[in-house]
Structure formats: C-alpha cells, structure tokens
C-alpha cells in the first residue's frame, strides 16, 4: 500500500534497527483519512472471505479494526484487553503474550461472551513483529472453538519473523506495508527498493 509506505518513510522515526515509531498517524495521533484508506484496503483483501467478527487488541488496533469492519459491512469488533477490568465478573479466555521490546510477558483476555464456537474471526492489528500478539489472539479464538480466517496487520516487521511463524501455523497473513529491514535510519520494504529517508 504505497500511500502508507510513503507515510512511514516520511514520518516514521527509526529507533535502532528494530523499532519504527509511527506516532504521528497511527499510534498516538491518528490520521483518520489514512485510517479510512487502510480499512478499505483490508476490506478489499478480505472481501472474498466469510467473516463473522473482527478481533483486535487494545489500544492501537481498535481504530484500524473498526474502520475495516465499517468497510466490510459493519462487522462486530471485539478488542482483547490487557488487564482484567474490575467490572468483568464472568469468565474469560486468556493467553500469554511476550513483548520482546519490553522483555515482559502479559496476559490478554476476552470475555467468554464475545467469542463463540464456530465463528470465523479476522484478526487485525497495527503491527506484526514477532507475532506474539497475533498468536495470542488466535489462541483466544481457538479456545472458544472458532476459526481464524486470517491475520491482517497495517505494518509488518518481516525481519522479526512473526509473519513466517503465522504462515507456518497455517494462517493467511496480509500486511499492508512490510518492512524488510531498518538500517542506518533507512527503512527498506520487502517488495520495493530502499526509499530515501
């Protein structure tokens, strides 16, 4: 998705060789026009699939998931939580997600009421890095007896292996802007030459 790659190159801030910050349009400030284009592109890629629900994870996945759902005919969105709210009294599915950046392991949860057996669930997130969050979300779907239709990520960090791991587990993966490497402050995408930074 060229418009997205252009924004990553022009506004993304590289931190070392592992992190690119896109706070100016996705993770803190949200460019709602670009978000609409992202939702439309996901809808285009997944329009042939039978999807009952979109599952994402708070916080940055929520806007992307909702805009995608809007373009796929108002599908319901469920967002997994990173903490158990004190108002959540009924049961929930949980899985552990390791953060390589933070060096921590945390739980993600979804109420048992909002994932159902037999459902076809599309997983949407902002980033796909090591694939830990996506695997955690897939586990929640499967604990409930549902099926993962595909995993869609706005930005992939291909060099961190998450996409390959998900494909090896049999999941369809769609990444709108896939980064091959970050080197000397420059971002190289998987299917394009290095773009000037």
Using CB under 8 A, which of 48, 87, 191, 196 touches a copy of itself?
A: 87
| Angle in degrees, 0-180, between the axes of helices 32-46 and 60-71, rounded to the nearest 10 | 60
Q: Is 33 exposed, middle or buried (0-12, 13-18, 19+ CB in 10 A)?
A: exposed
Q: Is 111 in the site for a copy of itself (CB under 8 A)?
A: yes
In terms of CB distance, is 78 or 134 closer to a copy of itself?
78
Whether a cis peptide bond, with omega within 30° of 0, leads into 139 is: no
Q: At 58, phi and psi to the nearest 5?
A: -65, 155
Using CB under 8 A, which of 45, 52, 70, 120 touches a copy of itself?
A: 70
- Contacts of 6-9 with C-beta under 8 Å, sequence gap 24+, read 6/195, 7/31, 7/34, 8/155, 8/177, 8/179, 8/187, 9/187, 9/195, 9/196, 9/197
Q: Determine the interface stretch with a copy of itself among 56-64, 130-138, 162-170, 179-187 (rule: CB under 8 A).
A: 56-64
Q: Which of residues 24-53 bind a copy of itself (CB under 8 A)?
A: 24, 28-33, 35-36
Q: How far is the CB of 169 from a copy of itself (least distance, A)?
A: 26
In terms of CB distance, is 128 or 173 closer to a copy of itself?
128
Residues of the shown chain interacting with a copy of itself in the complex, contacts defined by CB under 8 A: 15, 19, 21, 23-24, 28-33, 35-36, 58-59, 62-63, 66-67, 69-70, 74-79, 81, 86-89, 101-102, 110-111, 113-114
């Amino acid at each position: 998705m060229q418009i997205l790659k252009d924004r990553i190159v022009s506004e993304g801030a590289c931190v070392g060789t592992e992190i690119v910050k896109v706070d100016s349009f996705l993770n803190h400030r949200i460019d709602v026009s670009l978000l609409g284009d992202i939702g439309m592109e996901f809808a285009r890629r997944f329009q042939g699939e039978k999807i009952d629900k979109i599952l994402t994870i708070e916080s940055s996945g929520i806007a992307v998931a909702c805009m995608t759902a809007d373009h796929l005919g108002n599908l319901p969105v469920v967002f997994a939580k990173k903490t158990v709210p004190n108002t959540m009294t009924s049961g929930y599915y949980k899985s552990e997600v390791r953060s390589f950046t933070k060096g921590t392991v945390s739980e993600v949860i979804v109420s048992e009421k909002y994932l159902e057996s037999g459902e076809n669930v599309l997983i949407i997130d902002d980033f796909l890095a090591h694939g830990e969050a996506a695997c955690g979300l897939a586990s929640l779907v499967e604990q409930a007896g549902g099926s993962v239709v595909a995993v869609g990520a706005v930005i992939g960090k291909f060099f961190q292996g998450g996409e390959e791991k998900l494909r090896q587990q049999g999941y369809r993966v769609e990444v709108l802007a896939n980064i091959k490497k970050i080197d000397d402050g420059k971002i190289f995408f998987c299917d394009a030459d290095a773009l000037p930074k």
